[in-house]
Chains A and B, each alone.
Chain A
């Protein structure tokens, strides 16, 4: 069986440019936890307008422009502003005629987590992302250890740090998650999704108060109150297939890698799994496993 491009495409994450930000955030940080990393923003004719990511939203809300937005609209108003004010330029655009191997090779060579698939009129047909690819690799064994594909240089945060610090760290280091470390041990994990969910919860909570709200107010909780303590982990010697199955079973974006003394050794994300497995195995072989 030869894998078709359409079999790899995810059609779900599309949103209109005029939709309110809160709708985009609910897609990025939905309760079902199978949320995409990014949502493609389109116009009336489904043409690509840009990409909405959680990191981009945090980048705007904590940046220079954020200062004027908070002052002018407050949290409630900001969440109801149109999405196009928060998007980033769409990149990595391919057409439906492309072969899956081309896409996988491009993602692997450039460590990219997604490509957007359009037709000849630039109307979005779908997205191929790391989650869609991993879905085709469920239940497989690769003979490759997690330590061969994990990221070793991990940025962490203390449980006592404020959410604002966590958000800034995620923006600066361009990561989606930070292991929470106390006394050298992993106490939890905080992700961009957790912060977005917190912002949306604050919207409901703060609506009752007639005060000027700033991003500092909204992200003033300690990390320990928002992090998930139920950390899903893998061991460095586990097969990469175990990591893939755990990511899929728990619908999460990445796993911490913990050594025998419960010390943090690294992180393995969906993107790591796709791009590094295809480098180690070869794109053709990985594609063979997906068919």
Chain B
């Protein structure tokens, strides 16, 4: 693999119609202060999940404002990704996970091997999530940032202890929420809180003609005339895919023609994904109105975009969530979201304004039913959601955040 790939040509000027000329000017002014700086982002997968999604769009945008931005992807064997998934789950709260010495050695060894393939000679190197962390042992005098996208508010102490030894070797760490910053790194490295964002011009979020949406729905056997509820997320216990089916079943008792669309993808760094996909399929029990789709069915960004635009209501029943970019995507498309209070979701779903925050399956099904039965309300909440995202969670804001961080580390 080596470098992350993208075929996007993007200019900051393309965003003028969405964010205004003044905001674009303000970004260019910031970029001028670190013009030509080489910034290297490193993560574990070029496809699937929020981080790859962000980098795919952020890198060309950063290049368009004068940074030498680059995206590197680490290589690993299946064993490595099994270990890093265990680390991910442990950091997110699974207390029963134990890392054996062999597992730790393998994790370190694979990361070390990557040194041979990766370009880490940037002015700033940004490591995303725990998978590439041990690379920091081979850092030079350039500045290194750890961008942690996961919820670290209640980590498995043993696994965190192991990971922390790498984290404190960075110059700075960036977290999604204040409460995710572990107390025992404060004072040792500089910490920032920054929100992720979506790209309104990407295939996943750009405006689509209704005819395209209808064609895509029909291709997957979904009836565009009937209400659709859906969740877009990896197949993962934290996202509660079985809970999504429970909500659908409760709604179905009241609204007979409702359909459920669940979209996930099998990311390179997520070996558990297939197992949970199977569990979800089994739980759906052959219901013809439940559509469980993945990248293996030919669902790529454009299809996700079309499905989200066709949702009457989007669900996000995650019990743990870094930020919840699927929520941002749905809101941007004017779709109200019914979600649990996890991670950054309450920053996006304002109860009764852009969607509903719920505590369980029963309350979720009541709110979904309400929104299907009252299209005017769904439309109103959707419009509010879109404006909330426009003002606060677009990629141009994320670019400014990164530019300010680069300035803090290597600029003046």
Tell yes or no: B96 within 8 A of A by CB.
Answer: no
Number of interface residues, chain B, beta carbon within 8 A? 35
**Max chain A CB contacts within 10 Å: which of B387, B392, B412?**
B412
Interface code A9-40, partner B: CB below 8 Å = 1, 0 otherwise? 00000000000000000000000000000000
* Cβ B187 vs Cβ A173 within 8 A: yes
User: Which of B19-27, B46-54, B105-113, B198-206 lies at the interface?
Assistant: B19-27
User: Which of A106-114, A132-140, A220-228, A239-247 lies at the interface?
Assistant: A106-114
Assembly CA distance A65 to B397 (angstroms): 21
Considering the complex, which residues of chain B in the window 387-409 have a beta carbon less than 8 Å from any beta carbon of chain A? 387-388, 391-392, 397, 400-401, 404, 407-409
Q: B-side binding surface: helix, strand, loop or mixed?
A: helix
User: Which of B36-44, B155-163, B347-355 lies at the interface?
Assistant: B347-355
Given A91-B195, A92-B392, A94-B391, A102-B353 contact (CB < 8 Å): yes
Number of interface residues, chain A, beta carbon within 8 A? 35
Residues of A within 8 A of B20 (CB): 47, 121-122
* Cβ B407 vs Cβ A65 within 8 A: yes
* Cβ B350 vs Cβ A102 within 8 A: yes
* Cβ B190 vs Cβ A49 within 8 A: no
- Chain A minimum-CB-distance residue to B401: A89
Tell yes or no: B411 within 8 A of A by CB.
Answer: yes
Residues of A within 8 A of B190 (CB): 59, 63, 171
Instruction: Among A60, A68, A172, point to the contact of B191 (Cβ < 8 A).
Output: A172
Tell yes or no: A145 within 8 A of B by CB.
Answer: no
Q: Give the Cβ gap from A212 to chain B, nearest Cβ, in Å.
A: 17
Tell yes or no: A198 within 8 A of B by CB.
Answer: no
Instruction: Among B22, B400, B408, point to the contact of A60 (Cβ < 8 A).
Output: B408
Given A95-B387, A110-B347, A174-B178, A169-B187 contact (CB < 8 Å): yes
* Cβ A89 vs Cβ B400 within 8 A: yes
* Cβ A109 vs Cβ B26 within 8 A: no
Tell yes or no: A209 within 8 A of B by CB.
Answer: no
Assembly CA distance A102 to B401 (angstroms): 26
Residues of B within 8 A of A185 (CB): none
Residues of B within 8 A of A110 (CB): 346-347
Q: Give the Cβ gap from A42 to chain B, nearest Cβ, in Å.
A: 10
Tell yes or no: A151 within 8 A of B by CB.
Answer: no
Tell yes or no: B320 within 8 A of A by CB.
Answer: no
- Chain A minimum-CB-distance residue to B25: A43
Considering the complex, which residues of chain B in the window 8-26 have a beta carbon less than 8 Å from any beta carbon of chain A? 20, 22-23, 26
Residues of A within 8 A of B187 (CB): 168-169, 172-173
Q: Give the Cβ gap from A85 to chain B, nearest Cβ, in Å.
A: 8
Assembly CA distance A172 to B181 (angstroms): 10
* Cβ A72 vs Cβ B400 within 8 A: no
Considering the complex, which residues of chain A in the window 76-108 have a beta carbon less than 8 Å from any beta carbon of chain B? 84, 88-89, 91-95, 102, 105-106
* Cβ B409 vs Cβ A64 within 8 A: yes
Q: Give the Cβ gap from B386 to chain A, nearest Cβ, in Å.
A: 12
A interface residues with partner B (beta carbon < 8 Å): 43, 45, 47, 49, 59-60, 63-65, 68-69, 72, 84, 88-89, 91-95, 102, 105-106, 109-111, 118, 121-122, 168-169, 171-174
